[in-house]
Amino acid sequence: MTAIVKLVGVVKEYGAAASLVRALRGVDLEIDKGAFAAIAGPSGSGKTTLLNIISGLDTPGAGHVFVEGQEVTGMSGRALSRLRLRRIGFVFQAYNLMPVLTAFENAEYVLLMQGVAKAERRRRVMNVLGQVGLSGMEQRFPRELSGGQQQRVAIARAIVSEPALILADEPTANVDSTTAAGLLDLMTELNEDKGVTFVFSSHDPNVLKRAKRLIAMKDGALEGSADAKRREA
Amino acid sequence: MLLVKIAWRSIWRSKRRTFITVSALSFALSLVVFFIAFAEGVYAGMINEAVRMQAGHVTIEHRDYHDAPATDLTVADAPALRIKLAALDGVASTKLLVLGQGVAKSGNGAEGVAIMGVEPSVEAKASPLENKITRGSYLDEGDTRVVVIGQTLAERLKLDLGKKLVLSTNNTKGELVEELVRVKGIFATGVVEIDGYVVQTPLGFAQELFQLGPHEVTRIGLVLADADREEEILRAARRIIAAPAVARPWEEVLPDLAAYVRFDGGSNYIIQGLLIFLSLFTIFNTILMSVLERSREFAMMLALGTDSLRIRAQVVLESAMIGVLGCGIGLLVGGIVALALQIHGFDLKSIYPEGIAVSGVSVGTRVYGQVTVKLLATLGGLVFAATLVTSLIAVRHISRIEPAAVLR
């Protein structure tokens, strides 16, 4: 398998002197293409920081980060923006949809930024909204959708440009267990049928048990990593 | 297109705030348009009255007359020169004037006066003085040894219609001359400097009085159809005349009035500028609040790979939309009110029953505004540009957003 994400000795510290927080303490990690990996750990363990550093939203104090074999550490802000726009999809805990855009327009947003032609945009957005079960709700604004539906729009927005990697930070934290299960079904389906790589963080055991690979973190360091079969064994 | 769509919908997310901001901007701009149009109208009226009553928008005189006005500093061959000047495009009328100093004496006293020799038929059309005659009548062609005087002078010398007074002056040879004249009319402009000082008499009689030749005058005045063409006509007049005659704009001939218009106009613009400046704070506050409230949204857009410049452009576009709405409504409302003032005028007689006098110039109590497309475009453009500059200050915050920290 090819590593889509590779971290070598990544360190991230916040603050200084007495208030120094070591968010990541020399993390080495490889995630393969097509993975369905969960980063687990209690609050403050460094899950979100790890996701932010993989995506280039945050920069490590030391170490190296590679996405699809390309080193992102040291990239300019503009180059990182381009990388996120073209190769990485995001799903946020709080949905973070644009309230002034409809479900269709929210999903279309990234394609517009990429300069995809109108007809192609429409085809892909309609297709992806169908995949996430939102057919018929294209013209609804976020305020007219439930939390679960909003997160589905967020997933549609993340997958519509067919990125190499989707990073999801606690994607089920704000929805009820039934909706969470539905969202995980959707993510699993996209992973298995379309080969989309998912890396998501959570501390919910019900979510974590669905991951094919579990990356455990504690106090900014990897505690261990195991695939599903090993965990079952 | 997406940028426009997001910007347009965003400004209506907080309808009340947008309404207040647009209202503040449009109210301030409409007030500014009204007050500037009002002031421009008053200045135009003052200048018009002053130049018509005195030596026109453009004055031809001896080059030394401006610094030391004396009746021997004349423009020679004035009638022939006048024909050439009158033929210039944009010149509505020309007037020949003889101006000199003297003393008016009656049995009840003596007062220093300005003796103004005028052509009665020309003056009646060009100057507003004929309309200010309150008793008797204005000068007529063929009149001689008659004068029209102001109300104040008449009261000081206890003169009445038909009464005699003596005009005493030095002629061009330096000799003291005295002539007996009768009062034909009494005018009241409301300006003490005019009503107590100016004595108008027919041009021919004034030339006799000062011992000038029939072709000699101290000034030729050009009254223009459009005051905005002053520069152009001044240049054309300078090509026609020959030394020692010079052509001067009214601003040089009436420096006090020009200084007043400049000073008062400048003060007015400063006050209006402050009004706009204050309203820009509302815009700044609105845009800044909007940016601060949407930090998370902008962080998300940055996380998705949106260029920071594009987000800033979106916010500037939102400001531009608010600016267009505010300026559009402000110009429309202010423009309509100013236009109504320009067409119908506004009568201040109840406030100033004795008339209005500013800087030695009388202004009619019915004042008219002066609004032009250029004025509206300039004000609208300036306020719109200021709105954009204000928003540029507010959007600086966007460049400081750290998506990782905001989205945490």
Residues of A in contact with B407 (CB under 8 A): 57, 92, 96, 169
pLDDT tens digit string along B191-215?
777 888 899 999 989 999 888 888 8
pLDDT tens digit string along A191-228?
898 888 999 998 888 888 889 999 999 888 888 766 65
**A58, A100, A113 ranked by CB distance to B305: nearest:** A113
Of B162-166, B245-249, B265-269, minimum mean pLDDT range = B265-269
How far is it, in rounded angstroms, from Cα B102 to Cα B107?
17
Cβ–Cβ gap B9/A101 under 8 Å: yes
Q: Is A122 on the interface with B (CB under 8 A)?
A: no
B203 neighbors B159 (Cβ within 8 angstroms)? no
> Who has greater pLDDT, B178 or B193?
B178
Q: What is the pLDDT of residue B358?
A: 65
Cβ–Cβ gap B300/A92 under 8 Å: yes
B77-95 average pLDDT score: 89
Residues of A in contact with B398 (CB under 8 A): none
Q: What is the pLDDT of residue B254?
A: 84
B338 neighbors B42 (Cβ within 8 angstroms)? no
pLDDT at B190 over 80: no
Residues of A in contact with B408 (CB under 8 A): 48
B33-40 average pLDDT score: 88
B367 neighbors B38 (Cβ within 8 angstroms)? yes
B136-164 average pLDDT score: 90
Q: What is the pLDDT of residue B155?
A: 92
How far is it, in rounded angstroms, from Cα A128 to Cα B68?
91
Looking at chain B, the whole-number percentage of residues with pLDDT higher than 70 is 97
Q: How far is A229 from chain B (nearest CA, A)?
A: 32
**A96, A109, A113 ranked by CB distance to B296: nearest:** A96
Predicted confidence band of residue A136 (pLDDT cuts 50, 70, 90): very high
Of A184-188, B76-80, B350-354, B394-398, minimum mean pLDDT range = B350-354
| Residue that is written with structure tokens 């009646």 in the block | B124
How far is it, in rounded angstroms, from Cα A94 to Cα B86?
81
pLDDT tens digit string along B362-375?
666 778 888 889 88
Q: What is the pLDDT of residue B74?
A: 86
Phi-psi region of A75 (alpha: psi -120 to 50; beta: other; left: phi over 0): beta
Q: What is the pLDDT of residue A226?
A: 64
Helices (H), B243-307: 250-253, 255-293, 295-303
Q: What is the pLDDT of residue B51?
A: 84
Q: What is the pLDDT of residue A228?
A: 54
B218 neighbors B62 (Cβ within 8 angstroms)? yes
Please state whether the peptide bond connecting residue B244 to the residue before it is cis, i.e. omega within 30 degrees of 0. Answer: yes
Q: What is the pLDDT of residue A131?
A: 83
Cβ–Cβ gap A98/B13 under 8 Å: no
Q: Tell me whether residue B274 is exposed, middle or buried, using C-beta atoms within 10 angstroms of its C-beta: 0 to 12, 13 to 18, 19 or more.
A: exposed
**B297, B403, B407 ranked by CB distance to A98: nearest:** B297
SS (H, E, C) A96-128: CCCCCCCHHHHHHHHHHHHCCCHHHHHHHHHHH
Q: What is the pLDDT of residue B255?
A: 83
Q: What is the pLDDT of residue A32?
A: 92
How far is it, in rounded angstroms, from Cα B308 to Cα B28?
33
The neighbour count for residue B262, using CB atoms within 10 Å, is: 12
**B13, B306, B404 ranked by CB distance to A57: nearest:** B404
Q: What is the pLDDT of residue B225?
A: 87
Which chain A residue lies closest to B310 (C-alpha atoms)? A113
Q: At what angle do helices A118-131 and A147-159 cross, to 10 degrees?
A: 130
Ordered DSSP codes for B142-192:
T--SEEEEEHHHHHHTT--TT-EEEEEEE-TTS-EEEEEEEEEEEE--S-H
A167-172 average pLDDT score: 86
Tokens of B201: 């008499």
pLDDT at A229 over 70: no
Q: What is the pLDDT of residue A109?
A: 92
pLDDT tens digit string along B46-80?
888 888 888 889 999 999 988 888 888 888 888 88
Of B3-12, B27-36, B359-368, minimum mean pLDDT range = B359-368
Cβ-Cβ contacts under 8 Å for B162 (sequence gap 6 or more) = B182, B183
Q: What is the pLDDT of residue B117?
A: 92
pLDDT tens digit string along A78-114?
888 888 898 998 888 888 899 999 999 999 999 998 9
Mean pLDDT of chain B: 87
Looking at chain A, the whole-number percentage of residues with pLDDT higher than 70 is 95
Predicted confidence band of residue A232 (pLDDT cuts 50, 70, 90): low
Ordered DSSP codes for B200-239:
EEEHHHHHHHTT--TT-BSEEEEEES-GGGHHHHHHHHHH
Cβ-Cβ contacts under 8 Å for A218 (sequence gap 6 or more) = A41, A42, A45
Residues of A in contact with B297 (CB under 8 A): 96, 98-99
Q: How far is B228 from chain A (nearest CA, A)?
A: 51
Residue B232 CA: distances (Å) to CA of B226, B227, B247, B326: 11, 10, 12, 37
pLDDT at A37 over 90: yes
Q: What is the pLDDT of residue A15?
A: 80
How far is it, in rounded angstroms, from Cα A152 to Cα A135?
11
Q: Is A164 on the interface with B (CB under 8 A)?
A: no
